[in-house]
């Protein structure tokens, strides 16, 4: 199975400051169709996860533009340009290129 | 709007089976795969498998093969996941999740807590 390794696992942040989460895959995530299927999810405390980003850098509708995804494999990054209080939670990357789909361990973002 | 409403919490004894339901609304049920993802207490997310609603074909992670059965009833827009031979390691919140169309996941159910305890 493809191993997705996130860092850091805990990220204390100052409101209004930027934050960055890394995700590294153990194999190339380039699909046979040429696309890279790497997504990012946010899970706020007590809630179900919510997709933020798909195909590396495409932001879901309704997701604030302070969230951005980048990378080209094996390293991918989720950036928050200015952290707001509502951004507290756990963030997961997930690859959908290879079966079974696999998630990173999660990065807990909390306010300092 | 898309909604996935799951059945309520369950408590099961080791060795038993559990069946979780997921009723979909707000979209054409047969047009999307449905996935199942679980999350053990305080842990991360684990993809279990998926079902093609139009046809019923399934794929599952190897660790669940032989123990997980995914089905659907298109007449009531409901997907089901049954997990057998439960152990304490199966204690988790189980989510149904709609396929996002880009080899990923978009809409999530509210989750169903399954507790396995003697």
> How do residues B13-34 score in pLDDT, each as one tens digit?
999 999 999 999 999 999 999 9
Per DSSP, the three-state class of A86 is: helix
Is residue B113 within 8 A of residue B10, CB to CB? The reply is: yes
Instruction: Over range A92-107, report the average pLDDT.
Output: 97
State residue B102's pLDDT score: 84
The Cα A85–Cα B90 span in angstroms is: 33
- Per CB-CB distance under 8 Å, the chain A contacts of B62 are 100
- Given CB atoms, is B1 within the 8 Å cutoff of chain A? no
Residue A44 has pLDDT above 90, yes or no: yes
Q: How far is CA B100 from the centre of its chain?
A: 15
State residue B101's pLDDT score: 85
Residue B71 has pLDDT above 90, yes or no: yes
Element (H, E) at A51: strand A50-54
State residue A73's pLDDT score: 80
Q: What is the mean pLDDT of chain B?
A: 97
Q: How confident is the model at residue A106 (pLDDT cuts 50, 70, 90)?
A: very high
Instruction: Over range A61-77, report the average pLDDT.
Output: 95
State residue A4's pLDDT score: 98
- Per CB-CB distance under 8 Å, the chain A contacts of B100 are 39, 51, 54
């Amino acid at each position: 199975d493809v191993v997705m390794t996130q860092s850091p696992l805990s990220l204390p942040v100052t409101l209004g400051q930027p934050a960055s989460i890394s995700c590294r895959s153990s194999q190339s995530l380039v699909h046979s169709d040429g696309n890279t299927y790497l997504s990012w999810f946010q899970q706020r405390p007590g809630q179900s996860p919510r997709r933020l980003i798909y195909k590396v850098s495409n932001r879901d509708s309704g997701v604030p533009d302070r969230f951005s995804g980048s990378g080209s494999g094996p390293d991918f990054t989720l950036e928050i340009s200015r952290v707001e209080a509502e951004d507290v939670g756990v963030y997961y990357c997930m690859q959908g290129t290879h079966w079974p789909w696999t998630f990173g361990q999660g990065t807990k973002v909390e306010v300092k | 709007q898309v909604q996935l409403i799951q059945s309520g919490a369950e408590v099961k004894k080791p060795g038993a089976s559990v069946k979780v339901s997921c009723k979909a609304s707000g979209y054409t049920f047969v047009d999307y795969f449905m996935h199942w993802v679980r999350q053990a207490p305080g842990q991360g997310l684990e993809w279990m498998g998926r079902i093609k609603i139009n046809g019923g074909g399934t794929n599952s992670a190897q660790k669940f093969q032989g123990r997980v059965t995914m089905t659907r009833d298109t007449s009531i827009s409901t997907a089901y996941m049954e997990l057998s031979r439960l152990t304490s390691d199966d204690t988790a919140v189980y989510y149904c999740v709609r396929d996002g169309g880009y080899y990923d996941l978009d809409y999530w159910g509210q989750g169903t807590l399954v507790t396995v305890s003697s």
